[in-house]
Amino acid sequence: MIDSHCHLDHEPLLSDLSNVLKRSKDVGIKKLLTISTSLESFSRIKDIVNRDEIIYGTVGIHPHESSTNIITKNEIIKSLKENTKIIGIGETGLDYYYNNSDKEKQINSFKTHIEAAIECDVPIIVHSRNAEDDTFKILSEYKEDNPKILMHCFTGSKKFSEKLLTLNSYFSASGIITFKNSIDLQETFKSLPIDKILIETDSPYLAPVPNRGKKNEPSFIDFTAEKLAQIKDVSKSDLIEFTSNNFNKLFFN
């Protein structure tokens, strides 16, 4: 199993990392991808990836941080090239849920990350919330460059997923698919090709049922895998094999 998106540099995971890692391995996790959200976050991630061979990281600025954390394309590329365990760019993208006042800064940051990912031929981890039209419009501008797109914690509409498939995108399912009110999202994942799906925790956020309300951690991905296997009507072991192969194909091919 592979947790394709977690935040090991966030508490309470960071201060309990040894135990978090042990529990991850106990449920069969083979790789953890810990995701950068800010410049400060990335400085912690550079240390964390050295803590264990199963940990990999990314470099990037979350859209919420794009007003105060400015990073250039060359700085992203330099950070990527300096460490072989930094294997992706993000998370970046657009989030209009809370306010629209920093739209321009989010868009500029998003484009910077996309261009760095294309130049380095590595996946870009995309966060999109209440911004489907702009997210697709911007990604489409780079279609001819064949960016490697991973839609993290995908909660978008089925129509949005169909449009993103025309860009050869991958989609990561989080614990949200285990929530009772996520029927539409479950239907969307049911319709997606199984060779385009990954799984993630987004820990310490979004703990899946039956741990909803608790602080999430990578070992809880087991519940998400079980639910996704039901949705896709495959065995859990096959689901794990598919999603692990998809991750390795996206990040290591």
Do 188 and 239 touch, CB atoms closer than 8 A? no
Which pLDDT value is given to residue 141?
98
Tokens of 102: 């920093």
**Cα 176 to chain center, whole Å?**
14
Which pLDDT value is given to residue 181?
95
Which pLDDT value is given to residue 102?
86
The alpha carbon dihedral of 188, 192, 194, 200 has a sign of: negative
What residues contact residue 127 under an 8 Å CB cut-off, 6+ apart? Answer: 62, 63, 90, 91, 92, 93, 94, 95, 152, 153
Domain that holds residue 231: 2-252
**Domains of the chain: total:** 1
Is this model's pTM higher than 0.85 or not?
Answer: yes
Kindly list the averaged pLDDT for each block of 10 residues, start to end, along the chain of length 253. 98 98 98 98 98 98 94 97 97 88 92 98 97 97 98 97 98 98 97 98 97 96 98 98 98 94
Domain holding 61: CATH number?
3.20.20.140
Tokens of 44: 């912690």
Do 127 and 152 touch, CB atoms closer than 8 A? yes
Q: Of 96, 110, 103, 119, nearest to 62 (Cα)?
A: 110
Which pLDDT value is given to residue 253?
86
